[in-house]
Amino acid sequence: MNKQTIRFVWQWININYEDYFETSNCVVANPLFKRDLTSFDGLIKTILKNEAIRQATTLNFIASENLVSRAVLEAQNNVFINKYAEGYPGCRYYEGCEFADELENVAIERAKDLFKCKYANVQPHSGSQMNQAAMLALLSPGDTIMGMDLKCGGHLSHGSTVNISGMWFKSVSYGVDPKTGLIDMNRVLNCAIRHRPKLIIAGASSYPRTIDWKIFRRIADIVDSYLMADISHIAGLVVSGLYPSPINYCDIVTTTTHKSLRGPRGGLILSNNQELFEYISDAVFPGLQGGPMINIIAAKAVAFLEAKQDDYKVWGKSVIENAKAMVGRFKNKKIDVVSGGTDNHLVVIDLRGLGITGKQAAAWLDRCYIVSNKNTIPNDLLSAGITSGLRLGTCACTSRGLKKEDFERIADIIADILLEIKEKGEVSLTLEVNTRREVLSFADKYPICYNV
Residues taking part in catalysis: 84, 86, 230, 256, 259, 265
Query: Which residues pair with residue 271 across a beta bridge?
Result: 119
Asked if residue 155 belongs to a known ligand binding site, the reply is: yes
d(CA 417, CA 226): 45
Check whether 150 is labelled as a binding-site residue: yes
| Residue 415 near residue 329 (C-beta atoms within 8 A) | yes
Task: List the one residue out of 338, 368, 369, 357 whose CA is nearest residue 425.
Answer: 357
Are the CB atoms for 200 and 235 separated by under 8 Å? no
Q: Which amino acid is at 307?
A: A
What single DSSP character describes residue 255? E
Cα gap 94→92, rounded to integer Å: 6
Backbone φ and ψ for 218, nearest 5 degrees, come out as -60, -45
Q: Give dist(CA 362, CA 368) in Å, integer.
A: 10
Neighbours of 44 (CB within 10 A): 11
Long-range CB contacts for residues 305-312, cutoff 8 Å, separation at least 24: 305/110, 306/69, 306/71, 306/72, 306/262, 306/263, 307/114, 307/236, 307/239, 307/240, 307/261, 307/262, 308/110, 308/113, 308/114, 312/236, 312/240, 312/262
Q: What angle do CA 229, 160, 179 make, to 5 degrees?
A: 75
d(CA 334, CA 179): 17
Q: How far apart are CA 129 and CA 248, in angstroms?
A: 23
Tell me if 154 is assigned to a ligand binding site: yes
Residue 267 has a CB neighbour count (10 Å cut-off) of 25
Is 258 annotated in some ligand binding site?
Answer: no
Find the helix or strand (DSSP H, E) in which 41 lies. none
Query: Whole-angstrom Cα distance, residue 343 to residue 346?
Result: 8
Instruction: Name the phi and psi angles at 201, rounded to 5.
Output: -110, 120
Which residues make Cβ contacts (< 8 Å) with residue 383, sequence separation at least 6?
Answer: none
**At a CB cut-off of 8 Å and minimum separation 6, what does 390 contact?**
348, 349, 351, 358, 361, 362, 365, 372, 373, 374, 375, 418
Task: Let me know if 413 is exposed, middle or buried by CB neighbors in 10 A (0-12, 13-18, 19+).
Answer: buried
Binding-site residue ranges for (6S)-5,6,7,8-tetrahydrofolate: 150, 154-156
Binding-site residue ranges: 150, 154-156
